[in-house]
Chains A and B, each alone.
Chain A
Amino acid sequence: MVYFGKMKGHTQSPPRVGAAEILWSWIGSFLGIATVGLIHFHLLDQTSLTMIIGSFGASAVLIYGAVRSPLAQPRNLMGGHILSAVIGVAAFQFVGDIPWLAAALAVSVAIALMHLTKTLHPPGGATALIAVIGGDSVHQLGYLYVFVPAGLGALVMLIIALLVNNLAPNRRYPEFWI
């Protein structure tokens, strides 16, 4: 009964943020994704490289929308994407023949490793998963995937977060670096 009782929830959702907060979240995420997108579509277009992956949309939620969250700090952003990318590529290379297993291992080991290294960043789970299910263009990158798009994309997003979040009078970023 305790088990089912736990499913009822026991507290409430945090309050809605103010209008200024919403506006700054919008500005930051627009500029962050725009920058990564411009690099992807205009600079890397002629190469086999890719810059934009789905997990950056998730990172944008955190580093532009919840800037005080421990999950949104530079250590977590960079560490989470880079470590998860390593795990994702390794999972594909070792057990890529069994896609469901590679996908499950990529995400679960990435989460464990992020916990272990205090770099938990939810979009890292997506970065690991994309390394497995991202198709040929991603698979061909091999471990380069760790640096481009994962590492470099996260770094560009981080720079935009530093520049934009600190323009907002009531924001400061980061809370901590490492």
Chain B
Amino acid sequence: MSSANLPEYDPVEISDDDVMAAMKSMQGYIDITPADFREVYRTTYALARERMMKAMKAGDIMTTPAYVVHTDTDLIATATLLAEKGISGAPVTGPDGAVIGVISERDFLRKMGADQEGSFMQVIAHCLKSKGCVAAPMVNRTAGDVMTAPAVTATADMPIGRISSLMAEKNINRVPIVDLAGRPLGIVTRSNLVNAFCMLG
């Protein structure tokens, strides 16, 4: 791989003074200028990061097992599950057990008067205007009715770098990890990614 193709990452910024101090602490004449060292450092950092992003797979960082709901799980049970587990979304499985959608806070908010992007404050505004519980119309509805489908899923061997760009691209917060039959194995959320990236340093 040519280092020229690497995206620019910002490693911890080091100064000429840092490099000079390090060189002084090493014995002997270091046959390199501080600027050359920094160039080597930047390129090396980008390469190492790239390698680790490729080496670490969805399967390594996913939360397992994922809490899932079924398409015919009613929304009360769905909301209760999310509340109890302290999660903001879950994969939705179809009749054959394959993941066919994802249901999240955002889907609920959308049903409650928020627009496509779904924010809690929009629901508050809607609530204040309509003088009533905006969740009422959702009684008797099921997860299948409000979920976002089709689901954006990934297999366990997808590098976390790709999961990350997938989330950014689709503007989603979680990606169910599925086996070849589409059955859920776990889930990678933004927090899983944050933890993994913190580990990468």
Which positions in A face B, CB cutoff 8 Å?
Answer: 10-15, 17-18, 20-21, 65-71, 170-171
Of B22-30, B51-59, B113-121, B154-162, the stretch lying at the interface with chain A is B22-30
For B50, the chain A residues whose CB sits under 8 A away are none
A12 touches B33 (CB 8 A): yes
B16 touches A170 (CB 8 A): no
Interface string of B3-30 (1 = CB under 8 A from A): 0000000000000100010011001111
CB distance from A66 to the nearest CB of B (A): 4
Max chain B CB contacts within 10 Å: which of A12, A66, A67, A70?
Answer: A12
B28 touches A171 (CB 8 A): yes
A18 touches B23 (CB 8 A): no
Main secondary structure of the interface of A (DSSP, over half): loop
CB distance from A173 to the nearest CB of B (A): 10
B27 touches A21 (CB 8 A): yes
CB distance from B33 to the nearest CB of A (A): 5
Query: Does B135 sit at the interface, judged by CB under 8 A?
Result: no
For A65, the chain B residues whose CB sits under 8 A away are 29
Please report the C-alpha to C-alpha distance between residue A17 and residue B25 in the assembled complex, in whole angstroms: 10
Q: Which of A10, A15, A20 contacts B24 (CB 8 A)?
A: A15
A171 touches B23 (CB 8 A): no
CB distance from B18 to the nearest CB of A (A): 12
Q: With A12-B16, A12-B20 in contact, is A171–B27 under 8 Å at CB? A: yes
Q: Which of B20, B29, B36 contacts A21 (CB 8 A)?
A: B29
For A10, the chain B residues whose CB sits under 8 A away are 35
Query: Does B84 sit at the interface, judged by CB under 8 A?
Result: no
Q: Which of B23, B27, B29, B34 contacts A11 (CB 8 A)?
A: B34
Please report the C-alpha to C-alpha distance between residue A21 and residue B30 in the assembled complex, in whole angstroms: 12
Query: Does B31 sit at the interface, judged by CB under 8 A?
Result: yes
For A17, the chain B residues whose CB sits under 8 A away are 27-29
Query: Does B32 sit at the interface, judged by CB under 8 A?
Result: yes
Please report the C-alpha to C-alpha distance between residue A8 and residue B87 in the assembled complex, in whole angstroms: 58
For B33, the chain A residues whose CB sits under 8 A away are 11-14
**Nearest opposing residue in chain A for B25, CB measure:** A15
A14 touches B29 (CB 8 A): yes
For A13, the chain B residues whose CB sits under 8 A away are 33
CB distance from A175 to the nearest CB of B (A): 11
**Can you list 30 A-B contacts (CB < 8 A)?**
A10-B35, A12-B16, A12-B20, A12-B33, A14-B20, A14-B29, A14-B30, A14-B32, A14-B34, A15-B23, A17-B27, A17-B28, A17-B29, A18-B27, A20-B27, A21-B27, A21-B29, A65-B29, A66-B28, A66-B31, A67-B28, A67-B29, A68-B28, A68-B29, A68-B31, A71-B31, A170-B27, A170-B28, A171-B27, A171-B28
